[in-house]
Structure 1
Amino acid sequence: MEPARRKPASKARDLFTDRYERRRDRLSPAFQRVAGYIDANRLSVLASSAIEIARAVGTSDATVVRAVQALGFSGLQELRRELAASLGQRTTPADNLKRTLDDAVTRIDAVVDDLLDVYAAGLEALRAPDFRENLMKALSALHDAQRVFVFGIGPTAHIAEYFAARLRRKGKPQQVINRTGAELADQLLEFAPGDALIMMAYGPLYKEAGVTLAEARRLRLPVILISDTAQGELAGRADVVLAVPRGKNDRFALHGVTVFCLEMLLLGLAAGESDRALASLARLEHLRQALRSGRQLMPTDPDEE
Structure 2
Amino acid sequence: MPRRPAAQTAPPTADPFGERLATALPGLSPAGRRIARFLNENRPLSLALSALELAARTGTSDATVVRTVQALGFAGLPELKRDLAAVLAAPPPDPALAMRRTLAEAGEDSDRAVDLAIETQREAVEALTQPEARATLRAAVATLHPARRILVFGLGPSAALARYLSTLLGRAGRATRALDASGIALADQMLDLGAGDALLVLAYGRAYREVVALFAEARRLALPVVLITDSLDRSLARHADVVVPARRGRARRVALHGATLVALEAIALGLAATDGERALASLDRLNDLRAAIAGGRHDVG
Question: Shared topology, TM-score over 0.5?
Answer: yes
Instruction: Choose 165-174 or 118-127, whichever is displaced more.
Output: 118-127
- Where structure 1 has 5 or more consecutive residues not aligned to the other structure, the ranges are 1-9, 296-305
Aligned equivalent of 1:228, options 227, 230, 236: 230
Q: How do residues 203-222 of structure 1 correspond to structure 2 at under 5 angstroms? A: 203-222=205-224
Match status 1:135 vs 2:163: no
Distance 1:136 1:196 in 2: 11
Spell out, residue by residue over 1:37-77, the C-alpha distance to the aligned partner (whole angstroms, 9 max, x if none): 5444556656755555555556666776787788x757766
Instruction: Choose 93-102 or 34-43, whichever is displaced more.
Output: 34-43
Q: Is the 8 A contact 2:137 2:267 kept in 1?
A: no
Structure 1 partner of 2:7: none
Structure 2 partner of 1:150: 152
Q: Is the 8 A contact 2:88 2:233 kept in 1?
A: no
Q: How do residues 279-298 of structure 1 correspond to structure 2 at under 5 angstroms? A: 279-293=281-295
Q: How do residues 70-89 of structure 1 correspond to structure 2 at under 5 angstroms? A: 73=73
Give aligned pairs, total: 279
Distance 1:92 1:276 in 2: 44
Spell out, residue by residue over 1:232-270, the C-alpha distance to the aligned partner (whole angstroms, 9 max, x if none): 2222333x1223132443333343333233223222322
Which amino acid in structure 2 is aligned with residue 126 of structure 1? A
Q: In structure 2, do the counterparts of structure 1 residues 20 and 50 end up closer, same or farther at CA, with 3 Å as the change threshold?
A: same
Q: State TM-score, norm by structure 2.
A: 0.70
Q: In structure 2, do the counterparts of structure 1 residues 135 and 28 end up closer, same or farther at CA, with 3 Å as the change threshold?
A: same
Instruction: Choose 176-185 or 90-99, whichever is displaced more.
Output: 90-99
Q: How do residues 29-68 of structure 1 correspond to structure 2 at under 5 angstroms? A: 35-41=36-42, 51-53=52-54, 55-56=56-57
Q: CA deviation at 1:228?
A: 2.8
Q: CA deviation at 1:179?
A: 0.8
Aligned equivalent of 2:124, options 118, 122, 128: 118
Structure 1 partner of 2:3: none
Instruction: Choose 229-238 or 171-180, whichever is displaced more.
Output: 229-238
Secondary structure of 1:91 counterpart: coil
Q: Is the 8 A contact 1:44 1:230 kept in 2?
A: no
Secondary structure of 1:221 counterpart: coil
Q: Is the 8 A contact 1:170 1:280 kept in 2?
A: yes
Distance 1:191 1:88 in 2: 29
Q: In structure 2, do the counterparts of structure 1 residues 170 and 46 end up closer, same or farther at CA, with 3 Å as the change threshold?
A: closer
Which amino acid in structure 2 is aligned with residue 266 of structure 1? A
Q: In structure 2, do the counterparts of structure 1 residues 36 and 50 end up closer, same or farther at CA, with 3 Å as the change threshold?
A: same
Which amino acid in structure 1 is aligned with residue 261 of structure 2? V
Q: In structure 2, do the counterparts of structure 1 residues 286 and 126 end up closer, same or farther at CA, with 3 Å as the change threshold?
A: same
Distance 2:74 2:219 in 1: 44
Q: In structure 2, do the counterparts of structure 1 residues 278 and 81 end up closer, same or farther at CA, with 3 Å as the change threshold?
A: closer
Secondary structure of 2:246 counterpart: coil
